[in-house]
Structure 1
Amino acid sequence: MSDNAAILVDDIHFSYPDGHAVLKGLSCAIRPGEKVALIGPNGAGKSTFMSHLNGVSLATQGRVVIDGMEVTKDNLVAIRRKVGIVFQDPDDQLFCPTVFDDVAFGPLNLGLPRSDVRERVAQALELVGLAGFEERSSFHLSFGERKRLALATVLSYQPDILVFDEPSTNMDPLNRRKLIEWLRQSDKTILLCTHDLDIALDVCDRCLVLADGRIVESGPASEILYDRKLLEANNLELPLALMTHELLHDKLRAGRMDEEHRRIIEEFLHAHRHAHGPDAHEHVHLHAHDHDHEHLHHDGGDAHAHALEEAAHHHDDDHQHDDDHQHDDDHQHDDDHDHDDHHHHGDHDHDEHDDHCHDDHDHDDHDHDHDHDEHHHHDDDHGHGHDHHVAVPHSHAPVPGPEGGAGR
C-alpha cells in the first residue's frame, strides 16, 4: 500500500478493555479525493474503525497514517485538523446555544483569530445551505437542518478528509438529495460508513466490505454493490435501484410481468416520483418491447432513475409494440376477444383522460369488462404491457478537542 494515500491503514488490531477483539488485521488505502463506501453487517467494526482515523481510538497493533502522518497520541491536534467525522446523530455534535456558536467551536479551538472564525463560519453555513441561520437555536432546527449543521461544524475547520457515519439516516427525501448532491460535488477525500447502499452507489467510486474486523472485499462500487452473493453473505441487500433494474430485465425480457410484479414496480415508481420531485422523470415505460423514450429531465448520477432507464431500453424486439400511446379506433389487436365488448384503454394520465378516449361508446353508459388494478393495467392474452405515467443510534463519546477538550 502506498504511503502517498490520504488514508493508509496497515494491519491494525484493536480490543476493548474487556478483551473483546473488534479489529483483526484490517488494512486498506484511500487515495486523495477518492469517495469510498465502507459497508458491512452490524458488529463488523465500522464505528471502531472510524474512531481510529482521528485518534479517538488507538490501535493496539499496526498503524494508521493520515496524509503521511502516523496517528499517535502525540500528534492528535494535527491529525484532527486533517480528519473530520460527522456522526450519525447530529445531536452528538451540537451543544452550543446558537448555530453560529456551534460552527465556530472548532475554529476557536484551533486558536484562529476572530475575523478568521467569522469567515469560516460564513463559508461553512453557505456550503450546507444554512446561511442566515447564525442566530437561531441549533435545537429548534429540523432534523435535516441539524444534519447539515453538524456537517458545517466539521467543515468550519477545513479538514481534507471527511468521514460520515450513516449520513442519510432519518433524512427526508429533499435533504437526502441535497446531501447526495453536495457529496458528489465535493473535492475532499470522503469515507461513507453506511447501510444505505443506494447512497453508496450514487456517491462512491469504490466500496470496502468489512466483516469480522477485516476488509474482506474491495472494488468498484458498481461491481461490489451488484454482487448479490457477497452482499447476502454479509447481511446486506442489493441497492433498491439495482433490485428494480434486475426485476425489470428478468421479467420484461422474458415477457412474464405478472400483476404482482407490476404492482411492486408501480409502487416504487410512485415513491420515486414523490422523492425526486416533479422534474425527475415524467414517465417510465413498462413495455415488454422497444419504445422511443422521452424524458423531461435526467440526472446522470441518480442511480434509481438510471437503472429504470437502462431496463426500459433493453426490451425484446419480438414483443408487440404500441407506438407512442397512439390508439386509434382503427387499431387492430391480434387477440381472441370480441372487440364489441373488449375495448382497449391506454394507461394515460387521468387529467387528460377526456382528450384521449379510444372507444366507440358513451362513457356515461360504458361498463368496463376488464379486471384492472388501482393503476388501470390491462394485459390481453398476447401479453401486451402498457405504459404507466408516474405522476443513529449508537452512542458516540464526544471527540476530544485539539487541546484535550471536547471536540468533534
Structure 2
Amino acid sequence: MKIVTQVKLMPKADQAAALRSTLRTVNEAANWVSGVAFERGVPREYELRKHTYAELKAQGLGAQAAQHVIKKTRDAYTTLKANIKAGNLGKPASKRRRKAESKPIVFRPEAAQPYDDRCLSWQYDQQTVSIWTTAGRLRGVRFACSPDALRMLREHRKGESDLIERDGAFYLIAVCDTPEPEAYEPAGFVGVDLGIVNIATASTGYRAAGRGLNRHRKRQLDLRKKLQAKGTKSAKRLLKKRSRKEARHTANVNHIISKTIVTTAERTGSGIALEDLTGIRSRVRLRKDQRTSLHSWSFHQLGQYIQYKAKRAGVPVVYVDPAYTSQQCSECGHIDRKNRVDQATFACRSCGALMHSDDNASHNIGRKAKTVWTAGRESRVPAIP
C-alpha cells in the first residue's frame, strides 16, 4: 500500500531563494501549458508534449522538469474532468461548473512540483537531499523528520516526490510503498456511527465527543470574523498566521480517534463497519445556522484515516448503507421514525428498549456489516484437483 511521508526542508538563505524561484518558474510554465491545452481542447499528453516541450526547453527548464510540468498540467485536467463527471462541481448549468469549464486551469506560484529520482536524490544518513533547481543542482539541503518517518523513507520510499512551499517553508512529500498485510477473517464487526455532536461512536462502547472540537471551530470562526471585519495590516498578518490552524487541529483529533478504533478492532480480531455517507451534504436540507456545522463536518477525513490505518494492520473495513440505522431498534429490529426521541435518546416503541441513539446506530451498522461481508467474501469451496 502507498503511504505519504512529509519532511521539512531546512535550506540556507541562497538555497531557499533558488527553491522559491524554481517553483515560481515551473508554475508559470504550467500556466502557459494549461492555456495551450485549453485552446486545443485538452489533447492527450503525448500530443500536448509535441506543442509545448520545445518551448519549455527554450525557457530554460531541464528535460525532466519540462516533462513533469506537462504531465502535471494534463493530470490537473483529468482530475477536473473526473470531478465534473462525478457531479462535484454541480449540474451542467450551475455557475460553479460553468466557471470551471470556461477558462484554463491556473496553478498557484507555490503549487507542488513533482520530482523523480533523476531530479532528486536522498542521503538518509546525512539527512540531506540533492535537488534540481533553475539555478543548478543544490546539494546538501538538510531536511528534518521524525525517526519513524526517516525509517519509512529509507525502507519503502518509491516513485516521485513533490516539492511544495507553505507559509514560507519548504516540504518534500514522498510516496512510500509498504507491504500490505492480508486481511484476516473477522470474528465480528465494530460498528462506527459518525456524527457532529459525537464525532464517532463505536459499538464497543467507545465514544468520541465532538464538544471540544465544535467549541474550537466556533472560536476560530468568531476570531476570523473579527479579524476580517477589522481589515488592518496586522489583522491580515494574524489571519495568515492562523490559517489552517483549525484544519490541523481537526486532523490531529481524527488521527487519535481512528487509531483508537483500529487498535481496538485489531486487538479483538474484529472488522470495522462504516456508513457510506457519499453525497450527504447535497442530500440534507438544514437551516442556515446549521449549515456551517454540516460543511465543517470532517467525516470523510476520519473515514479515510480509519481505512488506511486498518489496511496497514490487516483489519477488514466494510461500508454499509446508512438507511434507517438511526430509526431501527438494534434489539428487536423495529423501524419507526418516532423511535428517535431526540438527538441523544432512542426509545423503541415496540420492545421498549432505551439507549443512546448513537450506540443504537453503531450496533445496527455492525450488524449490517456482517451481512455485507458474508455476501461479498470469496467462495471457500476448494478447487477441484
| Normalised-by-shorter TM-score class | under 0.3
Q: TM-score, normalised by structure 1?
A: 0.27
More helix by share: 2
More strand by share: 2
Q: TM-score, normalised by structure 2?
A: 0.28
Rg (Cα) greater in structure:
1
